[in-house]
Amino acid sequence: MWDIIRSIFSGIAIIPIFPFIITYLGYGAFVKDRKKAIRLAMDVSTLFLIPCVAALFNNLFNSGFSIYGILLVMIIGGGLLGNLHYRKDGIIPWKKILRVVWRISFFATAFLYIILIIVTLLQLAFTVS
């Protein structure tokens, strides 16, 4: 059972745009609101982008810290946003902070994914074996 789940995740995670498109089209077919469909597609594809970026970073720099670094940046970002909201309003809206950190993580990991894929492909193209 675990092997099946891992194989499905690995197959989908090879190209993280697939979960975005599948979620967008699937949810958009049932609910006609495009904004909600895009938001849900961003949330779902972030689950696939984080491990892909971590694996690309690990392969490129021979490091094992990348997943922890990504999570650390997300936690620090949440802490900074929580501090900002607490100083401004006196309360910490956890749900809003988690949503903002998750969506910013989507854009950051999508950008890093594109950059790391380009660098990896260039490294493979110019490596002499």
* pLDDT: which is higher, 13 or 125: 125
What confidence score (pLDDT) does residue 91 get? 92
Q: What is the pTM of this model?
A: 0.86
| CA gyration radius, the chain | 17
129 pLDDT band, cuts 50/70/90, is low
Q: Where are the domains of the chain?
A: 2-125
* Separation of alpha carbons 53 and 112, rounded Å: 7
How does the average pLDDT of the chain come out, rounded? 90
